[in-house]
């Protein structure tokens, strides 16, 4: 961080932890995975396990046993295009793994990533939730993010002109999400404005990293670092939690 730059983390505020039987279902790439682990650390107070999963991951018993986290990596870009699982297949597979689910805001679906999300995915999401009797779930759509602006072997590079197009795409995604009745977590402007704050990863799209440390008793614990990730994870938490806090 440049000297004199205000810390975004100082403005980060997580709400009170809801003590309810929540099911938090994340479908997306490593940026979604970063939010999942940041939320998991928040509700548990620490992370006792972590990995860079590119598959399905299920964590039950969080928040004192009340909350389940589920994650499915999408898209599986390393596979040949004709071998990649479809979005609705990936979503349905994860929903079946995390059941039982309720047709209410106790089921939260967070979908999105850096560049892959398109309007067609939101249409498929709506169709899948209706088919599974989960049209009452709370859905949060993470818009596009800046990234891939640094040339690296084996990784596509996105030009400044392409990032301008991504802004329009992100705005369109937000519009489609609102039509479907979904909440929107707008991450594009935040990430594009602070592209120099990318953390580890040759694809230059990560605003978080996970570090290990010794906890009480000498056990290994993990901590999610990254101010930008902390801010939009806080926004996500505050988006979810008003639906689970008692009226004042």
More confident site: 125 or 233: 125
pLDDT digits (tens, 9 = 90+) for 63-111: 888 899 999 999 987 788 898 999 999 999 999 999 999 999 999 999 9
Query: What span, in angstroms and rounded, lies between the C-alpha atoms of 210 and 24?
Result: 20
Mean pLDDT of 8-20: 51
pLDDT at residue 246, rounded to an integer: 37
Looking up tokens 């389940």 gives: 68
Q: What is the DSSP string of the chain?
A: --TTPPPGGGG--PPPPP-S-EEEEEEESHHHHHHHHHHHHHHHSSBS-----SSEEEEEEHHHHTEEEEEEE---TTS-GGGSPPHHHHHHHHHHHH----SSTTEEEEEE-SS---HHHHHHHHHHHHHTT-TTSEEEEE-------S-BTTB----HHHHHHHHHHHHHHHHHHHHTT-EEE--HHHHHHTGGG--SSTTS--S-EEEEEE-GGG-EEEEEE-HHHHHHHHHHHHHHGGGTS---
pLDDT at residue 18, rounded to an integer: 56
pLDDT digits (tens, 9 = 90+) for 157-177: 666 777 778 889 999 999 999
More confident site: 232 or 10: 232
Q: For residue 228, name the pLDDT band (cuts at 50, 70, 90).
A: confident
Q: For residue 232, name the pLDDT band (cuts at 50, 70, 90).
A: confident
- Choose the weakest-confidence range: 8-17, 29-38, 56-65, 207-216: 8-17
Question: Taking 60 as the threshold, does the pLDDT of residue 113 lie above it?
Answer: yes
Question: Taking 80 as the threshold, does the pLDDT of residue 217 lie above it?
Answer: no
* Domain boundaries defined on the chain: 8-243
pLDDT at residue 158, rounded to an integer: 65
End-to-end CA distance of the chain: 39
Query: What span, in angstroms and rounded, lies between the C-alpha atoms of 186 and 112?
Result: 10
Mean pLDDT of 172-199: 84
Mean pLDDT of 232-239: 90
pLDDT at residue 230, rounded to an integer: 86
Nearest to 68 by CA among 18, 17, 135, 21: 21
Q: How far is CA 162 from CA 9, 156, 159, 166, 167, in A?
A: 29, 12, 5, 6, 9
pLDDT at residue 184, rounded to an integer: 96
Q: What is the rounded average pLDDT for all residues in the chain?
A: 80
Tokens of 135: 């049209």
pLDDT at residue 70, rounded to an integer: 96
Question: Taking 50 as the threshold, does the pLDDT of residue 248 lie above it?
Answer: no
The CATH number of the domain covering residues in 8-243 = 3.40.50.1110
């Amino acid at each position: 961080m440049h000297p004199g730059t205000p810390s975004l983390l100082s403005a980060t505020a997580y709400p009170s932890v809801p003590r309810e039987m929540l099911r938090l279902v994340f479908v997306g790439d490593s940026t979604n995975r970063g939010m999942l682990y940041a939320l998991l650390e928040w509700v548990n107070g620490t992370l006792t396990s972590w990995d860079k999963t590119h598959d399905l991951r299920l964590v039950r018993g969080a928040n004192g046993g009340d909350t389940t986290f589920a994650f499915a990596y999408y898209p599986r870009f390393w596979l040949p295009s004709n071998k990649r699982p479809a979005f609705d297949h990936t979503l349905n597979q994860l929903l079946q793994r995390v059941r039982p689910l309720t047709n209410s805001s106790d089921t939260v679906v967070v979908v999105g990533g850096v560049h892959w999300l398109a309007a067609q995915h939101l249409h498929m999401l709506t169709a899948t939730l209706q088919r599974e009797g989960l049209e009452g779930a709370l859905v949060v759509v993470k818009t596009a993010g800046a990234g891939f602006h640094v040339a690296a072997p084996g990784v596509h590079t996105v030009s400044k002109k392409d990032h301008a197009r991504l802004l329009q795409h992100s705005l369109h995604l937000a519009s489609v999400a609102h039509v479907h009745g979904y909440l929107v977590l707008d991450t594009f402007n935040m990430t594009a404005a602070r592209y120099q704050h990318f953390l580890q990863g040759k694809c230059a799209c990560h605003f978080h990293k996970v570090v290990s440390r010794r906890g009480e008793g000498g056990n290994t614990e993990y901590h999610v670092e990254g101010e930008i990730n902390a801010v939009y994870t806080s926004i996500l938490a505050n988006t979810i939690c008003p639906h689970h806090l008692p009226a004042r």
